[in-house]
Chains A and B, each alone.
Chain A
């Protein structure tokens, strides 16, 4: 296992940030495990499990964990900055272009198409996430999924209250099931 420099960490996550569309995790795995060999496959999976049990985008959490493991707070900052800075700059340029040319010619149609497809991607993500959970425990997980959807999607209740109500109930059910 090699120990990368802060500069190498920054550059690696800069590449990861710019390479993924709608999810950069596969690219992160390729970079960290296969190309640079900073992590083994097992390291990567365990790091991912940690990142998935904490709030925040998985890949952002992963940049912090990987950076701090090799180079402390400085490394964490380098990886996070590398991951975030270029995509944020680029998305702002896109938004600015939308602000200027959003009403020109067929651009509104393109945006309408993009939005419809983005909704479809969200639905596909939902289905992929729901499948293993509902197969494993349909009767305990199903009502929780439905309650979260109805409360936030249909009734438009504030998320903090919904989360504070549903999460403890759901964790308790999972706890009892696990024993």
Chain B
């Protein structure tokens, strides 16, 4: 390998360009593939690192694609973060830009509704896989499992509650040495 950093940046660019175009329903649907590439295929980080980075991205304000920024950061520093962010955003943004111009013509088209209706269950299955991967790595004992269960209950029942509340409460328990 002549240029390991260049190779890593190239791999990040290729991976996130593909994920950008596959991220129907948002970035959470492609988290399992991000995890597979970063942990299993490229060995950029451990399972625990990935889970921690996902948690940090959730705890920061902003759109939910930022786990890709942090995967790039862990793999190749600041350059990796910028490449991963750009590759995650640019392809879907170009697509959106061009489709938006033609949108009015097929807003009511039957195929568009079939497309949206058909992709939705796939997205749900993928977000469920995201949960499974995160929970498997994060819930290392009963107390952590209870934190996850409590968060599910609170976030599902009180939809208007800011999700930061659950994250802050869980981090607070950890800071007190309880987790």
Set of chain B residues within 8 Å of A88, measured between Cβ atoms: 62, 66, 69, 81, 85
What 0/1 pattern do residues 117 to 153 of B give for CB contact below 8 A with A? Answer: 1111111111111111111011110001101111110
A55 touches B171 (CB 8 A): no
Q: A121-B155, A167-B118 are in contact. Are A91 and B69 (CB under 8 A)?
A: yes
What 0/1 pattern do residues 109 to 124 of A give for CB contact below 8 A with B? Answer: 1111111111111111
A-B contact pairs, 18 of them (CB 8 A): A17-B63, A50-B103, A56-B20, A68-B101, A76-B93, A95-B53, A110-B171, A113-B147, A123-B131, A125-B155, A141-B121, A149-B125, A159-B22, A171-B118, A175-B110, A175-B114, A178-B110, A178-B113
B166 touches A120 (CB 8 A): yes
Set of chain A residues within 8 Å of B11, measured between Cβ atoms: none
A106 touches B175 (CB 8 A): yes
Set of chain B residues within 8 Å of A153, measured between Cβ atoms: 32, 125, 128-130, 132-133
Give residues 2-41 of B contacting A (CB, 8 Å).
18-28, 30, 32-33, 36, 40
Give residues 67-105 of A contacting B (CB, 8 Å).
68-69, 73, 76, 80, 83-84, 86-88, 90-92, 94-95, 98, 102
Categorize the interface residue count of chain B.
35 or more
A159 touches B112 (CB 8 A): no
CA A76 to CA B169, docked complex, whole Å:
37
A115 touches B54 (CB 8 A): yes
Given A54, A127, A170, A177, which contacts B92 in the complex, CB threshold below 8 Å? A54
Set of chain A residues within 8 Å of B73, measured between Cβ atoms: 92, 95
Set of chain A residues within 8 Å of B95, measured between Cβ atoms: 54-56
A121 touches B163 (CB 8 A): yes
Given A49, A83, A119, A173, which contacts B139 in the complex, CB threshold below 8 Å? A119
CA A140 to CA B117, docked complex, whole Å:
11
Number of A residues contacting the other chain (C-beta, 8 Å)?
95
Give residues 64-115 of B contacting A (CB, 8 Å).
64-66, 69-70, 73-74, 78, 81, 85, 89, 91-93, 95-97, 99-101, 103, 107, 110-115
Q: A121-B151, A125-B127, A145-B128 are in contact. Are A116 and B177 (CB under 8 A)?
A: no
CA A148 to CA B174, docked complex, whole Å:
33
B62 touches A91 (CB 8 A): yes
Q: How far is the CB of B33 from chain A (nearest CB, A)?
A: 4
B1 within 8 A of A: no
B164 touches A167 (CB 8 A): no
Set of chain B residues within 8 Å of A135, measured between Cβ atoms: none
8 closest pairs, A vs B, by CB? A87-B62, A148-B125, A120-B151, A56-B92, A153-B129, A171-B118, A113-B174, A124-B155
Q: A92-B73, A175-B110 are in contact. Are A121 and B166 (CB under 8 A)?
A: yes
CA A123 to CA B156, docked complex, whole Å:
9
Set of chain B residues within 8 Å of A9, measured between Cβ atoms: none
CA A148 to CA B56, docked complex, whole Å:
26
Q: A106-B177, A121-B163 are in contact. Are A94 and B56 (CB under 8 A)?
A: yes
With both beta carbons as reference points, the residue of chain A lying nearest to B93 in the complex is identified as A64
Set of chain B residues within 8 Å of A175, measured between Cβ atoms: 110-111, 114, 118
With both beta carbons as reference points, the residue of chain A lying nearest to B116 in the complex is identified as A53
CA A122 to CA B114, docked complex, whole Å:
26
Q: How far is the CB of A10 from chain B (nearest CB, A)?
A: 15
